[in-house]
């Protein structure tokens, strides 16, 4: 990874089913982060294009699907234009229309480079609760090897499966980026800080959680975004406020901690067969 990787995690509200307003906010945030801290990477929460879903409701579902778009659509194009203008990498969540099947959705994250090109995408693998009525699970776990570092991406519930984040680490991830729409009703806010630090320490890599704030319908979101070093020390963390978290990720720190505690060498995969047995 880059010797000193400067990142920004944007803890933002989202306007329900209005990609234009969200895009405007996000473009301004990218520009601000570049001007204030000369960042290399700007990160936005899960489903930043049009917001979260609600309980199963076919009228709402119809409106939500009509507000979604393909990766080639205007939301990603607008983010790509700003990434190129500001000369930064951007990771954002979005509601993605299936490229072929009408009315089908993915909960996706897109990584865009400073040329405005799409480096890759991650589609949420673990779909909880009533999200199952709206989203198809993804089927790949990739690490994106870029000039600023090897980046693994998870989306919300994905981050509660250490099997996945360890897989990303074994594929070379140095930086784990976790996008969230974690709401008040399901977990205490502090859980997000715990998960961020734990995923980092387990794999001796940097870990970034970017959650949203605000409300969609009756669901409110508590923020608590965080950035952790490879042993669980917080480089930055937020509470419930609208903010941009900044942090510098040092390659020397990553190497020092992996030299001190070689967790990959010390693994015992011969003892982990239970992990892949069906229930």
Model confidence pLDDT, tens digit, residues 50-101: 999 988 899 999 999 999 999 999 999 999 999 999 999 999 999 999 999 9
Please give the average per-residue pLDDT across 203-219, as a whole number: 96
Q: Which residues of 181-219 are buried (b: 16+ CB within 10 A; e: fewer)?
A: bbbeeeeebeebbebbbbbbbbbbbbbbbbbbbbbbeeb
> Do 49 and 68 touch, CB atoms closer than 8 A?
yes
Give me the CATH topology for the region 4-261: Nitrilase/N-carbamoyl-D-aminoacid amidohydrolase (3.60.110)
**In the chain, what are the domain boundaries?**
4-261
Q: Which two tokens stand for residue 143?
A: 């690490």
Give Rg (Cα) of the chain.
18
**Model pLDDT for residues 6-37, shown as the tens digit of each residue:** 999 999 999 999 999 999 999 999 999 999 99
pLDDT in tens, 106-154: 999 999 999 999 999 999 999 999 999 999 999 999 999 999 999 999 9
For the chain, what is the mean pLDDT? 97
> For 146, phi and psi rounded to 5 degrees?
-120, 165
pLDDT band at 156 (very low <50, low <70, confident <90, very high): very high
pTM of the predicted protein model: 0.98
As a whole number of angstroms, the distance between CA 221 and CA 11 comes to 10
Joined together, the tokens standing for residue 237 give 């963390």
């Amino acid at each position: 990874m880059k010797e000193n990787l400067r990142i920004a995690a944007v803890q933002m509200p989202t306007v329900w089913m209005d990609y234009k307003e969200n895009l405007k906010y996000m473009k301004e945030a990218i520009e601000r982060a570049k001007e204030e801290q000369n960042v290399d990477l700007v990160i936005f929460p899960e489903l930043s294009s049009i917001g979260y879903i609600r309980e199963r409701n076919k009228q709402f579902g119809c409106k939500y699907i009509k507000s979604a778009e393909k990766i080639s659509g205007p939301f990603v194009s607008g983010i790509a234009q700003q990434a190129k203008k500001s000369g930064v990498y951007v990771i954002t969540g979005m509601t993605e229309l299936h490229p072929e099947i009408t009315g089908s959705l993915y909960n996706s994250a897109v990584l865009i480079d400073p040329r405005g090109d799409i480096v890759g995408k991650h589609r949420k693998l673990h779909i909880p609760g009533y999200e199952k009525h709206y989203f198809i699970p993804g089927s790949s776990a990739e690490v994106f090897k870029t000039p600023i570092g090897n980046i693994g991406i998870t989306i919300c519930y994905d981050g509660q499966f250490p099997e996945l984040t360890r897989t990303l680490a074994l594929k070379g991830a140095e930086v784990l980026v976790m996008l969230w729409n974690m709401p008040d009703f399901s977990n205490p806010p502090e859980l997000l800080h715990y998960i961020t630090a734990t995923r980092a320490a387990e794999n001796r890599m940097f870990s970034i959680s970017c959650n949203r704030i605000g409300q969609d319908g009756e669901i409110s979101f508590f923020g608590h975004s965080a950035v952790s070093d490879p042993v669980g020390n917080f480089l930055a963390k937020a509470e419930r406020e609208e903010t941009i978290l900044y942090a510098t990720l040092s390659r020397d720190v990553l190497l020092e901690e992996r030299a001190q505690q070689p967790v990959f060498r010390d693994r015992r995969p011969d003892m982990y067969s239970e992990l892949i047995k069906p229930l």
